Amino acid sequence: MKSLDPVELSLFASRVDSVCGEMGVQLARSAFSPNIRDRLDFSCALFDADGRLCAQAAHIPVHLGSMAYAMADIVAGIRWAPGDMVMLNDPFLGGTHLPDVTVVAPLFADDRLVAFVANRAHHADIGGESPGSMPLSRSLHDEGILIPPGHIVRCGELDRARLDEITGATRNPRDARGDFAAQIGANRRGLDRLGDLVNAMGVDTWLAAVAQLNDYGARLAWDALGAIPDGRFAFEDFMDDDGLGHEDIPIRVSIERRSDHVLVDFSGTARQVSGNINCPLSVTAAGVLYAMRCLMPAQTPACAGTFEPVRLKVPEGSLLNAVRPAAVAAGNVETSTRVVDVVLGALARAMPARIPAASHGSMNNVAMGTAGVRPWGYYETLGGGMGAGRHGGGLSAVQTHMTNTRNTPIEVLESRYPIRVRRYAVRRGSGGAGARPGGDGLLRSYEFLADARFTLLTERRRRAPWGLEGGRDGASGINRLNDEVLPPKVSGEARRGDVLTIETPGGGAYGAVRQG
């Protein structure tokens, strides 16, 4: 088997990354729903025959990290054949929350299983008790249709009955069918491109290249993580609430560099709660892996070897390692973001010059729609202020950390749904003041042109994003229906003419305000 020289290995890493990127382009161009087509709420990745990460595109960190953590268990439980595709969304069997649906396909070469392609996309409606499929749930069963790992395509033949069952549970079966077809098509494109690469290299050289890439990633990762100083560095932060009356829910972490790994220990974190901010372990892992990846150099490949030096300790039954049938709709979006905050907070005590202040700390989830004769459902996340660091101020009105989506263009939103966007602006003055000021949040107001139901799943409304090194905190977010201030997590009815306004948090500042 040929060993690749450094230039060849770099080219190989770029080629496998480009397969993921091309899958994403196809998915976006062929999807029906604004959530996937316009907001780009999806991710694509490649895995080896054992389900270990080989490559990923620069898509959604919470999708990618959770797939990287859980894919080995997913693929081990399936009997694979050429032409198969498996679909799932079960958070306790490798998913994140029910709207995120994953489609996995195997690649065979020379009659051998050599790799998998996969994509995960957020469906704006997957059934459940409220439009947008992000309810104030008490159980996983309230959140939508559960899809355990199972074939949607077998030996090249689509299982139409299963697809009809899944799409029939949604409020817009047409869009759902189009989005699932786009996911299947993206995987087919990935299989074509990856197949061309494997056939050109030969299977044995492909396997050797993947092994080399993992070794390279592990070396770069340990060079970076080995710079964490000796000691145990702890941090604590809090979730605002769970939407069902529980407030100030603690997440605690300690980080310790050992001889050959870094231990990230969440002992002392709250037990799982009644509301839907619980996380399956894969989501917690995604937050940790993302934060650790931020310490590594830009050329570090996204492969299994890169994450080998990271070990997790998360008590079972806790907020961050919930057990079935815990509600998890907001764990994927809100709690994952707080996981990043606490890990970065602990690292700031170890490496204060390397770590920025807290960003806005919420995906600011907005879901709305109706049931009835012409049902509709819409979902989006909103950006906020980025935390500032030692070398620069935070950006304003951007997505940060665990999500990487676009906004929905106003023209798309208004042409598809009975909504008018009254105002969309930077929330000036919401970033923390300091030597390096935090970024500002944003403001978005929706006027309802017809009666509808809405759900908000937001954070940092009670506890502000923290500053560092004397920098001040960013401003907390505010949710309003007309003139009424709403809780961080709420579901309600809006009448025609009502205006829902979301003011997202600003980022924390870095360094004290200079005097004089």
Buried b (16+ CB within 10 A) or exposed e, 180-191: bebbbbbbbbbb
Report the b/e string of 458-487 with b at 16+ CB within 10 A.
bbbbebbbbbbbebbbbbbbbbebeeeebb
User: Which residues, listed in sequence order, are joined to residue 251 by a DSSP beta bridge?
Assistant: 237
Phi-psi region of 429 (alpha: psi -120 to 50; beta: other; left: phi over 0): left
pLDDT at 516: 56
Vertex 121 angle, CA 118 and 127, to 5°: 130
Per residue of the chain (516 residues), what is the pLDDT tens digit?
A: 578 899 999 999 999 999 999 999 999 999 999 999 999 999 999 999 999 999 998 778 888 788 888 899 999 999 999 999 999 999 999 889 999 999 999 999 999 999 999 999 999 899 988 888 999 999 999 999 999 999 999 999 999 999 999 999 998 899 999 999 999 999 999 999 999 999 999 999 999 999 999 999 999 999 999 999 999 999 999 999 999 999 999 999 999 999 989 999 999 999 999 999 999 999 999 999 999 999 999 899 989 999 999 999 999 999 999 999 999 999 999 999 999 999 999 999 999 999 999 999 999 999 999 977 788 889 999 999 999 999 988 999 999 999 988 889 999 999 999 999 999 999 999 999 999 999 999 999 999 999 999 999 999 999 999 999 999 999 999 999 999 999 999 999 999 999 999 999 999 999 998 775
**SS3 assignment, position 342:** helix
Smallest CA-to-CA distance from 388 within 438, 324, 326 is with: 438
Select from 491, 482, 429 the least CA-distant residue to 454. Answer: 491
Q: Measure CA of the first residue to CA of the last residue in the chain; give whole Å.
A: 67
Radius of gyration of the chain (CA): 22
Point out which residues pair with 452 in neighbouring strands.
494
By residue count, the chain amounts to: 516
Distance CA 76, CA 64 (A): 19
pTM above 0.75, yes or no: yes
pLDDT on residue 94: 83
Q: Minimal CA–CA distance to 482: which of 469, 492, 472, 473?
A: 492
**Integer Cα distance of 430 and 426 in angstroms:** 9
Total Cβ atoms within 10 A of residue 275: 24
CA–CA distance, 432 with 33 (Å, rounded to integer): 36
